[in-house]
Amino acid sequence: MNDPTNSPETRFVHAGSDPARQGGYVNPPVYRASTALYRDTAEMAASQADPLKRGTPVYGRFGTPTGRAFEQALTELEGGHASVLTCSGLSAITTAILAYVRAGDHILVSDSVYLPTRKFCDSLAALGVETEYYDPRAGGAAIEDLIRPRTRLLYLESPGSTTFEVQDVPALTTACRARGVTTIADNTWATPAFFRPMALGGGADAGVDVVVHSATKYLTGHADSILGAIVCSQESYPTVRAAAIRLGQCAGADDAYLGLRGLRTLGVRMARHHEQGLELARWTAGQEGVAAVLHPGLPGDPGHALWRRDFTGAAGLFGVELHPDFGRAAVDAMLDRLRLFGLGHSYGGYESLVVPADPVSHRLPGTWAGRGPLIRVHVGFESLTDLKEDLSAAFEALRC
């Protein structure tokens, strides 16, 4: 099934699938596992000699066949070499970063990253690792200027959390590769359906070294699991896998199963999120009280050209900046008026959600120009007519 010439829709359905390995059944069983028994001491010794080797059963913490099936599918979809599952998206991020940094190192992290990623990077100061945040709009030359002899990593997330800046990923990876700096990308928003940062146009050289995912979001797709994944290049895999083993990272077989099941419908779900999200973003931009809509798929968006160049679609998640005269109470009244849009964290499921966002509290001066209150919208699979009605009523509540 591992045929890279297949179109993406086909790959979502068949990636990593091997019914013959599981008695002919289409889906793999859920291996709830801690202990695996060896045939004899020779097999035990062989497996302990090389804990990086996959395939032979060792112990549930090192992975199960269910997890392996999800890893293989995701690896294939991202164009990587191998993947490591973790218990959450955040643990995938912290594990990938900890795999590389040592005391005295300097790391470059986009100013627009997911806030818990930022808090983790700030905490690395206690281990002697210095984090420098860079403007997500930085090009290759600006990044070259920031690279120091002890720069170990460049971390990116495109588009950025809550403010949705699109990064020039090939420019950044090219600058970093020339200086021996490892690159890690959070690809939770786009998923491999719309962006493959490891398999960018210019061949292996243009791609990032490591892709991290909150599989909790679109990959699983049904708001019923917390799961993380790290997709690695051939070179980065031993480093990342060794760190995951050291840190005790693993994912339960039930969650891995849900991740794999979600992947099978990722193509159709993302196509629908794209369509509905883009239409609702367009419509929202025309509503009274809205100062700006932050969605790279909109032609007026600052990231639109890069998005068109590198992405094949947009997730259902975007930002809405309201007019600066609206205060907290008005925004709360608006959010409380929503009936279909749930007020809650996360995204990527079938349902529509909103959450207030506050980038100003932690951004570098100058990298975020918005002035009004910001909300983040996730567009699910409800009817657009119903969603627009729900939002219309909420915008009315905002204005009174």
Ligand X SMILES: *Cc1c(COP(=O)(O)O)cnc(C)c1O
Task: Name the catalytic one among 68, 217, 269, 363.
Answer: 217
Give the dihedral sign, CA 15/17/18/19: negative
- Verify whether residue 114 is a known catalytic residue: yes
324 prior amide bond cis, ω within 30: no
Residue nearest ligand X, CB atom distance: 89
Q: How far is the CB of 114 from ligand X (least distance, A)?
A: 4
- The CA distance from 313 to 316, in Å, is 10
CA count, 13 A, side-chain hemisphere, 150: 11
Q: How many CA atoms lie within 13 A of 10 on its CB side?
A: 7
Complex with ligand X: residue 28 or 348, whichever CB lies closer: 348
348/398 with CB nearer ligand X = 348
Place of tokens 């992947």: 263
Q: Is 217 a catalytic residue?
A: yes
Instruction: Kindly name the residue from 38, 54, 59, 61 that is annotated as catalytic.
Output: 61
Residues 337 and 397 sit within 8 Å (Cβ to Cβ) = yes
- In 3D space, the residue among 383, 361, 384, 376 whose CA is nearest the CA of residue 331 turns out to be 376
Q: Indicate if 358 belongs to the active site.
A: no
Cβ closest to ligand X, residue 44 vs residue 115 = 115
Query: 256 in the Ramachandran plot: left (φ > 0), alpha (ψ -120 to 50) or beta?
Result: alpha
Residue 322: CB minimum distance to ligand X, A = 22
Q: How far is the CB of 395 from ligand X (least distance, A)?
A: 26
Q: Which is nearer to ligand X, 164 or 330 (CB)?
A: 164
In this structure, what token pair is assigned to residue 322? Answer: 């309201």
Q: Which of 105, 135, 186, 310 is catalytic?
A: 186
| Nearest one of 267, 123, 96 to 185, comparing CA atoms | 96
Q: Min. distance of Cβ 90 from ligand X in angstroms? A: 4
Write the CB contacts of 123 (distance below 8 Å, at least 6 apart in sequence).
none
Interacting residue ranges for ligand X, rule: CB under 6 A: 88-90, 114, 157, 161, 186, 188, 214, 216-217, 226, 228, 346
What is the bridge-based pairing of β-strands 82-86 and 374-378? Answer: unpaired
Smallest gap from residue 198 Cβ to ligand X (A): 16
CA atoms within 13 A on the CB side of 369: 8
DSSP helix, strand, coil percent of the chain (3-state; round to 5): 40, 15, 45
* Nearest distance, CB of residue 265 and ligand X, angstroms: 19
- Of 100, 105, 111, 114, the active-site residue reads 114
User: 115-150 b/e with 16+ CB inside 10 Å = b?
Assistant: eebbebbeebeeeebebebbbbbbebeebbebbeee
Nearer to ligand X, 64 or 88 (CB): 88
Distance from chain centroid for Cα 206 = 19
Say how many C-beta atoms besides its own lie within 10 A of residue 267's C-beta. 20
Tokens 């077989």 sit at which residue? 253
Q: CB of 169: closest distance to ligand X in angstroms?
A: 15
How buried is 323 (Cβ within 10 angstroms: 0-12 exposed, 13-18 middle, 19+ buried)? Answer: middle
Q: 């005295």: which residue's tokens?
A: 104
- Bridge partner residues of 375 (DSSP): 320, 356
We find the least distance from the C-beta atom of residue 116 to ligand X, in angstroms, to be: 6
Q: Which residues are catalytic?
A: 61, 114, 186, 217
